Amino acid sequence: MTMRIAIVGAGPAGLFLARLIKKTMPETHVEVFEQNPRDATYGFGVTLAGAARARLGEVDPEVQARLEEAMVFNSTQAIVLDDESILLKYAGAGGAIERLNLLTILERLCEEVGVTPRYETRVDSKSDLTVRGLPSELGDYDLIVGADGANSEVRAMMGSGFRMTTRTLGNHFAWYGVGKALSPNALVFRHYEGGVFIAHYYAYTANMSTFVAECDADTWTRCGLDKMTDAERKALMEEIFSPELEGETLLENKSIWRQFTAQVAEDWSCGNAVLIGDALRVAHFSIGSGTRLAMDDALALHDALAGCEGDIPAALAAYEADRRPNRDLFTKATVKSFEWYENIAVRMQTDVASFAHDFLTRTGRVDDKRLERYAPEFYRDHVAPRLEREAAVGGRRG
C-alpha cells in the first residue's frame, strides 16, 4: 500500500523529512504545505555544529556537501564582560548559514527527488486534511507531520492532545542582522544605565552577521524598554553595542522584541498526527541547536517509517523511543541554559575568566574534563591552574 504523508511546515524539519522519505521510499506520496511564500522566513543566520553536519553526511552526503558549501566556519568566540574580554578557541569549528539559504538548498534537494512544497498554503482546522479524532472534511493522509514550528497549528488542531508544558521566560529578546561579518564572533554582557544587556553575534556569510539582543526582566522596566516602540529599542541597542557594531545599524526581519516561550510536548503523536522540530519542543536560542534537533527528529522519523512496513502506529512508537531520551536530555540542558540567562545580573558579578567558565559549564553538559578537549587553551590558562591550586589546598588540609 502506498503511504500518503502530509508534512505541515517547510522549515528545516519538514523539508529534510520530505527529502529523506522521497529519496529512500520513492513510492510514498509526500506533500509539504507551507504558509509563507517561497523566499520568506524569519531571522537571519543559524549555526550548525560539526557533529550535526557529520551526522547529516552519513545519511545524505549531498545535503551535508551543499550546506557546507554555503556556510562560514569559525572556531573562536569572544566573551565580553563590560570592559574585559577573553577569546575562546574551540577545538571544533562551528558552521553558520543564512537561514533562507538553508531552506532554499533543502527545498532544491526536495525538488530533485520529486517533492515540490506547496507555498502560501496554510493548514488549519478547516484544511483538507484528515486528522483522526477531529471533525475534518476531506483528505486521506495516513500520516500528518506537524513540522510547523513553535506555534504549531497541527498541535492546536488536536486540542490538548499533545499535553504541552509551557513556560514564558522573563528576559526579552529580538533577532537582528548586521550587514557586515563582525569579527570575532562574540557574546557581550554589558551594564548600561542600571540595566544589563546581552548581544550574541556571529558571521554567517562573508558580509552578514546574526545579532540577537537580550535584556533581563528587571532591565526591561528599569530602563523603560516596556514603554518604548521596537524602533526605539533598536536605536537603544545600537547605542549600547556601538563599540561592537562599528558604525553599522541593526537590520530587521520580523525583529519583534518578545519573551521566549519554552514549550515541550509530552505526547509525540496523537492519532495519525506526529510532531517534529520546534513543534515538539522549542530549543532556546542560547543553546544554538534548534535546527539540528529539528533535522535529527526528521531523520529519526524517517528511519522509523522506513522500517515499519506500513505499520504507522509502530513507526510512531519507534520514533518516540529513539528520540525521547535525547529530547529529554536537551530539554534539561535548555532549561539550565535559559535560567542562567534569566539570572544574568547576578552571574555578571565576577571577573571575565570565572564568568566565561560559568558560561561554558552552565548546562552541565560540559564539565572541566570535557573543557580540556572542548576549549583547550582556556582550560590550560584558566581551569588547570585553578584545579592545581584547589588540589594543593586540599593536599595541605589532608
Ligand X SMILES: Cc1cc2nc3c(=O)[nH]c(=O)nc-3n(C[C@H](O)[C@H](O)[C@H](O)COP(=O)(O)OP(=O)(O)OC[C@H]3O[C@@H](n4cnc5c(N)ncnc54)[C@H](O)[C@@H]3O)c2cc1C
Q: Which residues bind ligand X (CB under 6 A)?
A: 8-14, 33-36, 43, 46-47, 122-124, 147-149, 153, 175, 212, 277-278, 283, 285, 288-292, 294
User: Grid coordinates representing 340?
Assistant: 542562567
How would you classify residue 223: left for phi > 0, otherwise alpha for psi between -120 and 50, otherwise beta?
Answer: alpha
Please provide residue 248's backbone torsions phi and psi, each rounded to the nearest 5 degrees. Answer: -75, 150
CB closer to ligand X out of 149 and 195: 149
Min CB(349)–ligand X separation in Å: 26
CB closer to ligand X out of 195 and 290: 290
CA distances from 299 to 19, 104, 105, 138, 271 (A): 10, 19, 17, 29, 21
Min CB(141)–ligand X separation in Å: 14
Min CB(169)–ligand X separation in Å: 12
CB closer to ligand X out of 43 and 271: 43
Min CB(152)–ligand X separation in Å: 7
Min CB(163)–ligand X separation in Å: 19
SS3 assignment for 280-338:
CECCCHHHCCHHHHHHHHHHHHHHHHHCCCCCHHHHHHHHHHHHHHHHHHHHHHHHHHH
Where b means 16+ CB within 10 Å and e means fewer, 289-298 reads bbbbbbbbbb
CB closer to ligand X out of 203 and 352: 203
First to last CA, the chain: 72
Min CB(64)–ligand X separation in Å: 15
Q: Which residues pair with 189 in a beta bridge?
A: 81, 198
CB closer to ligand X out of 298 and 383: 298
Contacts of 5 (CB under 8 A, 6+ apart): 21, 28, 29, 30, 31, 141, 142, 143, 144, 145, 305
* CA atoms within 13 A of residue 291's CA, in its CB half-sphere: 26
CA 222, CA 336: separation in Å to the nearest integer? Answer: 25
CB closer to ligand X out of 258 and 369: 258
Min CB(242)–ligand X separation in Å: 21
CB closer to ligand X out of 152 and 219: 152
CB closer to ligand X out of 147 and 305: 147
Q: Which of 215, 180, 365 is nearest to 289 (CA)?
A: 365
Min CB(277)–ligand X separation in Å: 2
Single-letter amino acid code for the residue at 372: E
Min CB(179)–ligand X separation in Å: 18
Is the bond leading into 117 cis (omega within 30 degrees of zero)? no
Q: Which of 329, 351, 291, 366 is nearest to 91 (CA)?
A: 366
CB closer to ligand X out of 280 and 316: 280
Whose cell is 552519513? That residue is: 58
CB closer to ligand X out of 154 and 371: 154
Min CB(392)–ligand X separation in Å: 41
CB closer to ligand X out of 1 and 138: 138
Min CB(191)–ligand X separation in Å: 23
Please provide residue 73's backbone torsions phi and psi, each rounded to the nearest 5 degrees. Answer: -120, 145
Helix (H) / strand (E) element for 108: namely helix 99-112
CA 85, CA 277: separation in Å to the nearest integer? Answer: 35
